[in-house]
Structure 1
Amino acid sequence: MAKDQTLVGLDAILNELGPFGKYNIINFALYLFPCFLAGMYGSVFIFEASDISYRCQVNECENVSNTSLWLEHAIPKEKGGYSKCFRHPLLENITSSNSSCMANAFDTTVQEKCSSYVYSDEDSAVKDFNLGCLNWKRTLIGTIHNSGLFLSLPLTGIVSDRYGRKVALSIAALMNCIFGFTRSFSTNYVMMVSLEFLEAGFGAGAYTTAFVLAMELVGPKGRVFGNTMINVVFVFGLMTLASLSWLLQDWRTLLRVIYAPSCLIFSYLWILNESIRWLLSKGRHDEAVAILEKAAKMNNVKLSENVLSPLQELEKKPIEDKEETEIVEDKPSIFLQVIRSSIIRKRLVTCSYLWITCTFVYYGLSINSVSLAGNKYINFMLVAFIEIPANFVCLFVLDRFGRKRVMIITYILSAILCISLSFLPKDQSWWSLVFYLSGKFSITVAYSSVYIYVSEVFPTNVRQSLLAVCSSTGRVGSTLAPLTPLLALYYDNLPSIFFGTLAVLAGLLVFTLPETINVPLPDSIEEAERLSKERNKTVA
């Protein structure tokens, strides 16, 4: 119990240190760098294997340089252009040796699948690995990348809660660097997708670890602002990715440029301070006090004795602590205690579904943006840029109206906008863009709210692990999102209908959760359960 009281009192110490001291700014800036890189890593597959222009290779006529003489007769028209996957065969009485590649040489009443392709000058793994008309293989690249998060996030969470936040962050960043950089040298499709999985499987947890470090650095009043800054930096990562892709026009060079900086984060193992809150949860009070004193010195703040005394008293009572520790060691592991709590268990399931919805709609809209009319790089940057005002709106509304109300409104609004896209006439491109960006705006506010909300409803000693469980389960959405362009081949409005349906259900489920506005982070299972009990009393 003494340990829990000390953890609660940490918020008072953080308030005395101040939110914008030198220590806070330097450490927060260090946390932002991996978040910036994560913005690029999570969506790079969109430009790695982007859909490009190509057509059937007509071997009988490719030696005729003037394609206008034969192309229109050899390739059928489809959606205002030449078909990518079909061609007209030669007439039976025409052979390649005597064909003059004229209109009467092809049977325009019959279509056959291509056996080989002629690709445009655009850069893509589709061209390098001959993925013409293999859309399932192209979209599978993103699915395999995102499926790696099912491994990465729980694994990083376990390492983070057991060995420390900075250890987990440093190792994950190193894995990003090694596997991402190596992927640029892929010689075949199998090598590429294998490295996609390994890079995400061992490195994607860097973002969630940096996020938890940032949330544990600031006090209750600074969580929303800190969350907003992280999300804005993440958006800059997305926009930088599109800019570099447009500038370099070479997916291999792009990978080398964006993954090399991740190796620098490995140095955090030596230059970064461990999370004070994590140290206290592990009973390492002397190290926590040392960091607090260092922070106070850097911030030019004199900490009052009454806020530090609980920590100092615990340092002077090793015998009593040892006796308490022996009792605790006889109890089940903290993770098992959490899972046995019906309140926390239901909360975990609900938060996981909220995350699934956010990732599915968020990434689905981002991925499909490159298929909109116009320049794909500008479209992607525009859809990414809309997240910046969304995050600042989140900054102002979360502390004013509460987490629950904001999530309910944004989920429902996102659902309405996404479903409305299926009813807009095809010629209303302007209104389609407005609704598209508005839908992305709404789901971004919901996503930002969920991220900060989940970090507030679970106990400190398993916060990273349960955040990782929610995030990794939620990656079902981001794993399915790259496949939504395939769904549109069967029915144009199917993706938007899926987006809207999931968002409606998510909005309804938020009603079952407790409010966490201006509530200290729970440091024990009892405190986390009390959030729901207090909500029930209020309702009663």
Structure 2
Amino acid sequence: MSQDVGLDAALRELGYFGKYNIVNYALLLFPVYLAGMYGSAFVFEASDIHYRCNIPECEGYNNNTWLEHAIPAKDGVLSKCQRYQSNNNSGTCSIQDFNTSIVKDCESFVYSDEDSAVKDFDLGCQHMKRTLIGSAHNAGLFLSLPLTGIISDRYGRKLALALASLMNGVFGFLRSFSSGYIMMLIFEFLEAGLGAGAYSTAFVIAMELVGPKGRVLGNTLLNGVYVIGLMSLAALSWWLQSWRNLLRLIYIPAMFVVSYYWILNESVRWLISKGRNTEAAAILKRAAKMNRVELSDEVLAPLYELEKLNTDEKSKDSSNVNHKLEGNMQSNLMKVIKSSIIRKRVVICSFLWITCTFVYYGLSINSVSLAGNKYVNFMLVSFVEIPANFVCLLVLDRFGRKKVLIVTYVLSACLCIGLSFLPKDQKWLSLVLYLSGKFSITVAYSSVYIYVSEVFPTNVRQSLLAVCSSLGRVGSTLAPMTPLLNHYYHNLPAIFFGSMALIASILVFSLPETINVALPDTVEEAEMLSQKRSKKESA
């Protein structure tokens, strides 16, 4: 008997968005909102502010006309990292006091009044150190995703959410008191490595809270609130103008999410998967009371039958059962390893995921270097994700997964590469292209998540999805370093983004279409998806 039979029937009778679901969703939206801010806090925490070389022999002069004699300029902009050799002649800081034929690197810096870790830790012209702050944060995802997943699957969703949120709050708050660069780097990694799983756990609870027909709306709500978190981050940074105060303000609320361990009901679907069907039935009854509906005995009966069945099995010697399950798991894993089709699919899907995270996060991070107000630019680049998610829902079931992926990857590539051909004075047109590129890659990102879950067999789907997702974090880890490319050519990051997206669009052609196709349960059924594609092409 399927464990979901009683649950799906119960969810239909409860209603997909009754009072119980609305209350629980409202609670879950709060950690999702916080996650939107935490994921990109480093963008404003270690922003590249204005500074120049310190010229000790001239700093006492009130008239800054000597700067053009002491510091080389390009297109009317003074160099941030170089100065002219001093002759120490007249001491008047005139052009005669500097040898403009000899350029050397700065020994110390004069920073603007802007607030940033760059100023606090004297990171002037140490671009690798600055971008490493963001990379350290995103590298923490390699630890947080599997760690939180293990806790969530073994000990429950509530505990995983509470622990991850506590780690967010503690290490994020402590980071605001960093007295040095290394201390900041360590807390950046620990906060993400132990706390970034709060979002994925809240997402799982939300998806398990409703039936299939309610997941589309639920997913859209979660994505929308996450984007609001991103926009709030930029607004708060603009208002506070202090990265330390910003961290204290946004991370303290995470500690209140710990109370969810006592407030939030455990996922009914998780309880059933653990054989705790009586507890699951009790939660469903409370939900029915809140929604003012009466659950029929026929709906709850399968849960009690499963409870009795599980109790009987536990009373027997379970060593043979465990041995059989272990053997089946090893057998399925060997089938995946031996299947050239599945292996190729894993590699391609991982590259698609890497491309999405690389371009998605790269465009967000580099938006602060666009002409104009960096806070407004970041909010605009974040806002386009809301309509992008709605478009994704409209086009995926109408045009198919492959067509949407190919079109959005190609469109993103053309828009990003097209930025490099625009003259610098076309600021508004550049912003429009930039926002359009973020829009298209967001649609691709949402589509990839759905598509990858459809091309792998049920018995190893979660494992292979985790492999692709984990490898995809390579893109988000490298993305914070892309601003370094600006120092070689202003539009080099956009060209990199476009090239990656173009390669991804070509690779999609080798994958099968999954629209209106039943999810494969075995490796053999998953392989047949490609065979069906080949038959259609030959026909």
Q: TM-score of the superposition, structure 2-length normalised?
A: 0.90
The aligned residue for residue 83 of structure 1 is 79
| 1:103 positional shift | 2.1
- Match for residue 329 of structure 1 among 304, 322, 334: 322
- Match for residue 24 of structure 1 among 21, 24, 35: 21
The aligned residue for residue 229 of structure 1 is 221
Q: Is the Cα contact below 8 Å between 1:456 and 1:516 reproduced in 2?
A: no
The aligned residue for residue 131 of structure 1 is 123
2:437 maps to 1:439: yes
Q: Is the Cα contact below 8 Å between 1:514 and 1:532 reproduced in 2?
A: no
| 1:356 positional shift | 1.1
Q: How does 1:78-477 map to 2 (within 5 A)?
A: 78-91=74-87, 94=88, 99-318=91-310, 320-322=312-314, 326-333=319-326, 336=330, 339-342=333-336, 348-454=346-452, 467-477=465-475
- Match for residue 56 of structure 2 among 54, 59, 75: 59
Q: In the TM superposition, what whole-angstrom CA distance separates every residue of 1:166-204 from its partner, at most 9, and x where no partner exists?
A: 211111111101100000000010100111011111111
| 1:319 positional shift | 5.7
Tell me how far apart the structure 1 counterparts of residues 311 and 335 of structure 2 sit (CA, whole Å).
31
Cα pair distance change 1:496/1:336, threshold 3 Å: farther
Q: Which deviates more from structure 2 when the two are superposed, residues 155-164 or residues 193-202?
A: 155-164
- Provide structure 2 residue ranges, at least 5 long, that are not aligned to the other structure: none
Aligned AA (1:209): T
Cα pair distance change 1:76/1:363, threshold 3 Å: same
Backbone CA RMSD of aligned residues: 2.7
Equivalent residue of 2:224, what SS?
A: helix
Cα pair distance change 1:315/1:8, threshold 3 Å: closer
The aligned residue for residue 10 of structure 1 is 7
Q: Is the Cα contact below 8 Å between 1:224 and 1:399 reproduced in 2?
A: no
Tell me how far apart the structure 2 counterparts of residues 152 and 510 of structure 1 sit (CA, whole Å).
29
Aligned AA (2:223): N
Equivalent residue of 2:102, what SS?
A: coil
Tell me how far apart the structure 2 counterparts of residues 410 and 266 of structure 1 sit (CA, whole Å).
39
Tell me how far apart the structure 2 counterparts of residues 348 and 136 of structure 1 sit (CA, whole Å).
32
Tell me how far apart the structure 1 counterparts of residues 266 and 512 of structure 2 sit (CA, whole Å).
31
Q: Which deviates more from structure 2 when the two are superposed, residues 485-494 or residues 77-86?
A: 485-494
Tell me how far apart the structure 2 counterparts of residues 269 and 527 of structure 1 sit (CA, whole Å).
36
Tell me how far apart the structure 2 counterparts of residues 89 and 27 of structure 1 sit (CA, whole Å).
66
Cα pair distance change 1:264/1:457, threshold 3 Å: farther
Tell me how far apart the structure 1 counterparts of residues 348 and 4 of structure 2 sit (CA, whole Å).
27
How many residue pairs get aligned? The number is 528
Equivalent residue of 2:52, what SS?
A: strand
- Match for residue 45 of structure 1 among 42, 47, 59: 42
2:521 maps to 1:526: yes
| 1:15 positional shift | 2.5
Tell me how far apart the structure 2 counterparts of residues 169 and 241 of structure 1 sit (CA, whole Å).
22
The aligned residue for residue 478 of structure 1 is 476
Cα pair distance change 1:269/1:209, threshold 3 Å: same
Cα pair distance change 1:338/1:211, threshold 3 Å: farther
Q: Is the Cα contact below 8 Å between 2:47 and 2:117 reproduced in 1?
A: yes
Q: In the TM superposition, what whole-angstrom CA distance separates every residue of 1:200-233 from its partner, at most 9, and x where no partner exists?
A: 1111111111111111222222222211111111
Aligned AA (2:365): I
- Match for residue 486 of structure 2 among 466, 485, 488: 488
2:509 maps to 1:515: no
- Provide structure 1 residue ranges, at least 5 long, that are not aligned to the other structure: none
Q: Is the Cα contact below 8 Å between 1:85 and 1:133 reproduced in 2?
A: yes
Aligned AA (1:442): S
Aligned AA (1:19): Y
Q: Which deviates more from structure 2 when the two are superposed, residues 161-170 or residues 177-186?
A: 161-170
| 1:455 positional shift | 5.5
Cα pair distance change 1:59/1:538, threshold 3 Å: closer
Cα pair distance change 1:267/1:399, threshold 3 Å: farther
Q: In the TM superposition, what whole-angstrom CA distance separates every residue of 1:118-159 from its partner, at most 9, and x where no partner exists?
A: 100000011000011111111111111111111111111111
Tell me how far apart the structure 2 counterparts of residues 535 and 365 of structure 1 sit (CA, whole Å).
33
Equivalent residue of 2:471, what SS?
A: helix
Tell me how far apart the structure 2 counterparts of residues 364 and 20 of structure 1 sit (CA, whole Å).
36
Tell me how far apart the structure 1 counterparts of residues 410 and 74 of structure 2 sit (CA, whole Å).
37
Q: TM-score of the superposition, structure 1-length normalised?
A: 0.90
Q: In the TM superposition, what whole-angstrom CA distance separates every residue of 1:1-49 from its partner, at most 9, and x where no partner exists?
A: x3xx222553343233221101111111222111111111111101011
| 1:271 positional shift | 1.4
Cα pair distance change 1:179/1:458, threshold 3 Å: farther
Tell me how far apart the structure 1 counterparts of residues 270 and 524 of structure 2 sit (CA, whole Å).
20
Tell me how far apart the structure 2 counterparts of residues 459 and 164 of structure 1 sit (CA, whole Å).
25
| 1:272 positional shift | 1.4
Equivalent residue of 2:3, what SS?
A: helix
Q: Is the Cα contact below 8 Å between 2:512 and 2:529 reproduced in 1?
A: no
Tell me how far apart the structure 1 counterparts of residues 199 and 405 of structure 2 sit (CA, whole Å).
22
| 1:266 positional shift | 1.0
